[in-house]
Amino acid sequence: MRSLITYAVSAVFAVSALCGAQSTAGIEALVHRRLSNHANDFTFSLSTPTPASYAAPNTTAKQNDEYTVSNAANGTIHISGNSPTALASGLRWYLTTYAHVDIYWFVGSRLHLAPQHLSPVNGTYHGSSIVPWRYHFNTVTFSYSAAFWTWDDWELELDWLALRGVNLPLAWNGYEKILIDVFREAGFSDAEIASFLSGPAFQAWNRFGNIQGSWGGDLPMSWVDGQFALAKQIVARMVELGMTPVLPAFTGFVPDMIGRHYPNASFVNGSQWSGFPLQHTNVTFLEPFDPLFTTLQTSFLDKQASAFGNVSSIYTLDQYNENNPYSGDLGYLRNVTSNTIASLKAADPNAIWMLQGWLFYSSATFWTNDRIEAYLGGVENSDMIILDLFSESQPQWQRTNSYYGKPWIWCELHDYGGNQGLYGQVENVTINPIEALANATSTMVGMGLTMEGQEGNEIMYDILLDQAWSSTPLNTATYFHDWVTARYHGPATLPAGLYSAWDSMRKTVYNNTQISIANAVTKSIFELAPNTTGLLNRTGHHPTTIQYDPAVLVQAWKSFYGAAAQEPSLWDNPAYTFDLTDITRQVMANAFYPLYTTFVTAANSSLNATYSPTQATKTGQQLLTLLSDLDALLTASGHPEHFNLAYWIAQARAWVSPSNTPATSNTSSSSIITQTADFYEYNARNQITLWGPTGEISDYASKPWAGLISSYYLPRWSMFVEYTLNSSTAANGGNAALSSSLLAFEEGWQTGIWGEAAGESYAMASGNELQRVVARVVGDWPGVFG
């Protein structure tokens, strides 16, 4: 079996190296990986091998993907299609519709549960995408979610993408290795380069030119080399699965010592980003019209092509993400883009530039329509693709006249910073892309996902990618029903409570329509630095507003929990234990709000009507107990990869291994390994808490995680409760003493070392452990769980 897979993999490389044609080997290897007991039950054929090459696609001419699923005379399920991605999409259609199995980000692959005997299809089925491109990733997903991923994580991710029809994934890993080689060749010293690169958890913003340098230590070369080795595997697998990887390019951001090496070069300094100290922002930008820009671009793309092969001509390149241009002059803006695309074409005549359209929204004041038109005007329409990055809430394509004719992709962003909270806009992600496509003047060519972090709410991501294969808005009732059937595959008949819980959430939790109140995943207030004011009713990207009736979620939770009483095998079902943990987490997070309000008003001695020291003491204690119970629940979930700080830290630390740490003569290599692991742990801790050396965007990427609640949020709330009970000025949020002790605590936490114990501390709890803890918590909080 093993040798078959190896053969299939090397076959696809041989073929693509010769003529760029695609084969069925990638999808066949996927079946071997995930469904080995059905390896001979599916047969695949490429009906019309895609013309030209996916490496150099003509974005105007690219066709929709199509597949057919039928019963072959010899008893196999036969899937034919016009691309490997079409075949994978046809396979998933069969597996979810007939075998009721699927693959999930956190639950993992459930495909092996497909029944021994596969039903024939009831008739030949034809599927067709409605857009030629299905896209995945945001540049920042590589830091918020994938910073510490291993090959196993990537393999699952890429199978997930392939089965959902994604053919255009972003591929950032390994960027720094090539960039370092370019800079060294250009004469920069290693010290100058080191002062430019950011730490493992912050590379996305260094790539954007928002930040430079690393706090807490320099980026180790062993990290750079390890990521580069991983990148080779990732890109090769993307190609094998028939995807066009979107590869990085040289952006123009350079070490600030450029003037020493190139006194005549034209460069400017970027803006100060998010309050970072100038040493870590104000990034030097080499002007694209300087001939050195093309020299470095050519060097970069040549090195990249030798590393990965000639596998793609679509390049991700963002120079002004939350970072305004040096000048708003229209000629200048056009000059920047015309020279940037010329630099790409100098190295790769087929180059197509992919731009994240976020800047036009986030810096809308700068980016007036005439500036956008001038900026985009420097590039031929067919040489660019734009990601309309936040289409469900803040679309920019209408106001930019469909990006003045550039092809663009309708993207669902959904969450910021990998925040976790049940949330969705089920109407907008099904209806709006169809309307956009129907608009006769729109130049939309794709649909995709640009979440800042991959988090829960997986149904909301699935539905958008499935919408890309339906020309009318999906019926959400049917969609949720069928999703549940595959999700909890197992019992012959699933308890009705599972369906009713999801249907109720579909109409409430997942149907936010008031985007002026909340337009992305909600953050629970306990994840914020405690305060008597300013926590409730936040709107926008990190809303704290609960935009549905919390009592409805409690009812849905009851149905969902009740399902396991009826069908106890659900306690052994990882999809069920994952979702039960997540829904229970949300019910408890919501219950924190009224307790908080009661506490704050009872503790405020200037409010005669509600002031009650007894009540304040009681609710203060309840706030802390609720957090500690929530931590216990998440610890017992059995899904540390999504609910546990220790897992995140252990994954970060695991990036050191003796084999990729350089030996030195003076220091023992084991102490270097420990120092490096501690630095990775610091990065992991800092991103999800202070986010910056001194809390520049504190709590932006907060997470309701076991271990983070007990070691960070709970101590903060404990300090707050104690201070508020003993203070006569509770009404006023501005307590300098409390503020400074909170900050001192937060800063101390950054350098705490969990160390190797992190890996041991999240030992997989069994379903029975979750069952016991949920029962206990429910018993302790009758008012919360109804």
Residues of this chain that bind ligand NAG (CB under 6 A): 43, 45, 58, 60-61, 72, 74, 76, 78, 97-98, 122, 256, 263-264, 269, 278, 282, 284, 289, 335, 338-339, 393, 395, 398, 401-402, 425-428, 432, 439, 441-442, 476, 506-507, 511, 513, 515, 529, 531, 533-534, 536-537, 606-608, 733-735, 738-739
Least distance from ligand NAG to the Cβ atom of residue 236, Å? 26
Least distance from ligand NAG to the Cβ atom of residue 368, Å? 16
- Residue with Cβ nearer ligand NAG (278 or 663): 278
- Residue with Cβ nearer ligand NAG (225 or 482): 482
| Per-residue H/E/C for 637-691 | CCCHHHHEHHHHHHHHHCCCCHHHCCCCCCCCHHHHHHHHHHHHHHHHHHHHCCC
- Residue with Cβ nearer ligand NAG (278 or 492): 278
- Residue with Cβ nearer ligand NAG (35 or 738): 738
- Residue with Cβ nearer ligand NAG (11 or 654): 11
3-class DSSP assignment, residue 152: helix
Least distance from ligand NAG to the Cβ atom of residue 479, Å? 10
Q: C-alpha distances in angstroms, 285 versus 28, 262, 319, 342, 362?
A: 45, 13, 9, 17, 20
Least distance from ligand NAG to the Cβ atom of residue 381, Å? 11
3-class DSSP assignment, residue 595: helix
Helix (H), strand (E) at residue 480: helix 476-487
Q: How many residues does the chain have?
A: 786
Least distance from ligand NAG to the Cβ atom of residue 200, Å? 24
Query: Which of 709, 691, 672 lies closest to 750 in space, CA to CA?
Result: 691
| Residue 650 · residue 586 · CB < 8 Å | no
| Residue 187 · residue 251 · CB < 8 Å | no
Least distance from ligand NAG to the Cβ atom of residue 489, Å? 14
Task: Decide the pairing of beta strands 267-269 and 168-169.
Answer: unpaired
Structure tokens at 739: 């503020």
How far is the C-alpha of 588 from the C-alpha of 557, rounded, in Å?
11
Least distance from ligand NAG to the Cβ atom of residue 391, Å? 8
- Residue with Cβ nearer ligand NAG (607 or 624): 607
Least distance from ligand NAG to the Cβ atom of residue 639, Å? 28
Longest Cα pair distance anywhere in the chain, in angstroms? 83
- Number of neighbours of residue 669 by Cβ within 10 angstroms: 12
3-class DSSP assignment, residue 763: coil
- Residue with Cβ nearer ligand NAG (389 or 758): 389
Least distance from ligand NAG to the Cβ atom of residue 181, Å? 22
Structure tokens at 492: 């012959």
* Adjacent-strand bridge partners of 267: 286
- Residue with Cβ nearer ligand NAG (181 or 256): 256
Least distance from ligand NAG to the Cβ atom of residue 84, Å? 16
Quote the radius of gyration of the chain (alpha carbons, Å).
26
Tokens 């957090």 correspond to 627
Task: Sort 450 into a burial class: Cβ within 10 Å, 0-12 / 13-18 / 19+.
Answer: buried
| Residue 22 · residue 46 · CB < 8 Å | yes
- Residue with Cβ nearer ligand NAG (181 or 287): 287
CA 686 to chain centre: 18
| Residue 348 · residue 306 · CB < 8 Å | no
- Residue with Cβ nearer ligand NAG (236 or 431): 431
Least distance from ligand NAG to the Cβ atom of residue 452, Å? 19
Least distance from ligand NAG to the Cβ atom of residue 394, Å? 7
Structure tokens at 549: 């009736």
Amino acid at 134: R
Least distance from ligand NAG to the Cβ atom of residue 750, Å? 18
**Region of residue 53 (phi > 0: left; psi between -120 and 50: alpha; otherwise: beta):** beta
- Residue with Cβ nearer ligand NAG (447 or 706): 447
- Residue with Cβ nearer ligand NAG (263 or 779): 263
How far is the C-alpha of 772 from the C-alpha of 633, rounded, in Å?
10
Task: Decide the pairing of beta strands 352-356 and 384-388.
Answer: parallel
How far is the C-alpha of 403 from the C-alpha of 409, rounded, in Å?
11
- Residue with Cβ nearer ligand NAG (513 or 667): 513
Produce one character per residue of 273-311: b if its CB has 16 or more CB atoms within 10 Å, e if not.
Answer: beebeeebbbbbbbbbbbebbbbbbbbbbebbbebbbeb
How far is the C-alpha of 344 from the C-alpha of 339, rounded, in Å?
9
- Residue with Cβ nearer ligand NAG (122 or 493): 122
- Residue with Cβ nearer ligand NAG (85 or 428): 428
Least distance from ligand NAG to the Cβ atom of residue 193, Å? 15
- Residue with Cβ nearer ligand NAG (537 or 751): 537
CA dihedral sign, ordered 473, 478, 482, 483: positive
Structure tokens at 416: 């910021």
Question: What phi and psi values does residue 288 have, to the nearest 5 degrees?
Answer: -60, -20
Least distance from ligand NAG to the Cβ atom of residue 6, Å? 21
How far is the C-alpha of 556 from the C-alpha of 566, rounded, in Å?
16
Tokens 């960027």 correspond to 175
Least distance from ligand NAG to the Cβ atom of residue 735, Å? 4
Tokens 């299939």 correspond to 8
Least distance from ligand NAG to the Cβ atom of residue 172, Å? 25
How far is the C-alpha of 622 from the C-alpha of 595, rounded, in Å?
8
Least distance from ligand NAG to the Cβ atom of residue 611, Å? 8
Q: C-alpha distances in angstroms, 238 versus 67, 163, 168, 409?
A: 20, 12, 9, 20
- Residue with Cβ nearer ligand NAG (238 or 535): 535
* Adjacent-strand bridge partners of 446: 133, 409
- Residue with Cβ nearer ligand NAG (281 or 637): 281
